[in-house]
Amino acid sequence: MFPFSYCNPTKIVFGNGTVTQTGAEVAALGLRHVLLVYGQSSIRRNGVYDAVTASLKAAGVAWTDYPGVSPNPLLSHAVAGAAQARAAGADGILAVGGGSVLDEAKAIALGARAPHAVWDYYEGRATLGPGEALPLAAVLTLPATGSEMNGGTVITHDETREKRAVIHPLLNPKTSVLDPETTLTVPPTYVAYSASDAISHTIESYLTRPPAFLPVQDGYAEGVVRAIMAATERILAAPGDLEARGAMMWAATLAWNFLGSCGVGPWSTPAHMLEHPLSGLHNVPHGAGLAVTGPAWMTWECRRRTDRVAAFARRMLDVSEADDAAAAAEGIARFRAWLKRIGNPVTLADCGLGDAQIPELARHAAILAQAWATGAEYTEETCAAILRLAR
């Protein structure tokens, strides 16, 4: 195993009905007035808003509403939210929603306290110092991104459409409430997109890590991917299946709380690097975009890491080919077919994109390759070549 240090400061409260504990959990953090950040309308329609605000009231916590977070959240809305948090005198943030809401809530938490402009942190021109973010709690309603148990936040710049991330432990939610009942209204489209995202989070380190004997990490990834696939099948067959909703919720959290990648050595996220321009420039849902870029990238990558793609194929998709190259090819085909069957787009054309968009997508991906140190091989030309495999 490779050396690592791991600290995850997020408390998880998991279980059916736990949304009613939100107020008590927020009060236990010492918060008295929170900015309640949420999306367009889902929590108003499915009763989660009422359950959360009733629990805040019962716990004596005041709140100021800040709705309107969009999927692929925008910088301008986060900056306005930070101003609102300051104006309201909020001593913390409560995010209620999916990854977009949690990510923007983190940008608001940062913007309300940090000395530099919010975008400076996303561009890497500024780094958070101690105490430079308001404390944040979360109620997750859409399991996919892992934002509920990590310090990551992804925001899109309104004008340039660049999608950038900050990862900092100060931005980990102090507490995240994971109530599977709040996810019963997630529609089949987002069930599919979420499975694609959470699987990608699990397999990017699995596929890119250096060769080594890593049975703990491999077993973790294989278990999480199998759980996501099984739970997704069950949810699509029976949307009211709470056991499956719960399994998906915890699996997606474990997929991106960076526990599974501890000790794997250097690894990278090329499928995500290629996807962010799709969602940033063209507003493709993040998980849907990964269903396009993931298999295309694997097809390109399996010439170099046939062993890892073959391991993915055999241990996660039950491919039985003895030859590594044949197993890898069969695995990619099965994976793409599964993503499609559950309801994802799997080609650029499925997203309404084509050759005309590839140069701009590749240019943005190559910039991210540098920012994320994904690898010098990911030039604009290489990124374009990989995207052409997704036509």
Nearest to 243 by CA among 322, 332, 180: 180
Q: In what order do the strands lie in the sheet with 92-97?
A: 11-14, 175-178, 136-140, 92-97, 33-38, 62-66
- CA distances to 3, 75, 182, 222, 363 from 70, in Å: 39, 11, 19, 33, 25
Helix (H) or strand (E) holding 138: strand 136-140
Q: What angle (nearest 5°) sits at the alpha carbon of residue 268, between those of residues 267 and 274?
A: 165
**Binding range to ligand NZQ, per CB under 6 A, among 11-19, 141-149, 291-299, 315-323:** 141-149
Asked if 148 is part of the footprint of Zn ion (rule: CB under 5 A), the reply reads no
Query: Which of Zn ion, ligand NZQ, none binds 357 (CB below 5-8 Å, type-dependent)?
Result: none
Mask for 74-113, x = binds ligand NZQ (CB under 6 A) = -----------------------xxxxx-x----------
Asked if 71 is part of the footprint of ligand NZQ (rule: CB under 6 A), the reply reads yes
Are 290 and 197 in contact, with CB atoms under 8 Å apart?
Answer: yes
Asked if 294 is part of the footprint of ligand NZQ (rule: CB under 6 A), the reply reads no
Tokens of 335: 């994976």
Alpha-carbon gap, residue 367 to 115, rounded angstroms: 26
Asked if 182 is part of the footprint of ligand NZQ (rule: CB under 6 A), the reply reads yes
**Binding range to ligand NZQ, per CB under 6 A, among 152-160, 234-242, 334-342, 360-368:** 152-160
- 152-156 and 163-167 beta bridge pairing: antiparallel
Nearest to 319 by CA among 337, 301, 303: 337
Asked if 153 is part of the footprint of ligand NZQ (rule: CB under 6 A), the reply reads yes
* Residue (98 or 246) nearer to ligand NZQ, CB: 98
Are 19 and 51 in contact, with CB atoms under 8 Å apart?
Answer: yes
* Residue (10 or 153) nearer to ligand NZQ, CB: 153
For the bound state, the minimum distance from the C-beta of residue 286 to Zn ion, rounded and expressed in Å, comes to 6
Choose which of 185, 283, 306, 379 interacts with ligand NZQ (CB under 6 A).
185
Choose which of 29, 138, 186, 298 interacts with ligand NZQ (CB under 6 A).
186
* Residue (47 or 129) nearer to ligand NZQ, CB: 47
271-290: contacts with ligand NZQ (CB under 6 A): 272, 279, 286-287
Alpha-carbon gap, residue 139 to 141, rounded angstroms: 6
158-217: contacts with Zn ion (CB under 5 A): 197
Q: Which residues bind ligand NZQ (CB under 6 A)?
A: 39-43, 46, 71-72, 97-101, 103, 141-142, 144-147, 150, 152-154, 182-183, 185-186, 190, 194, 197, 256, 272, 279, 286-287
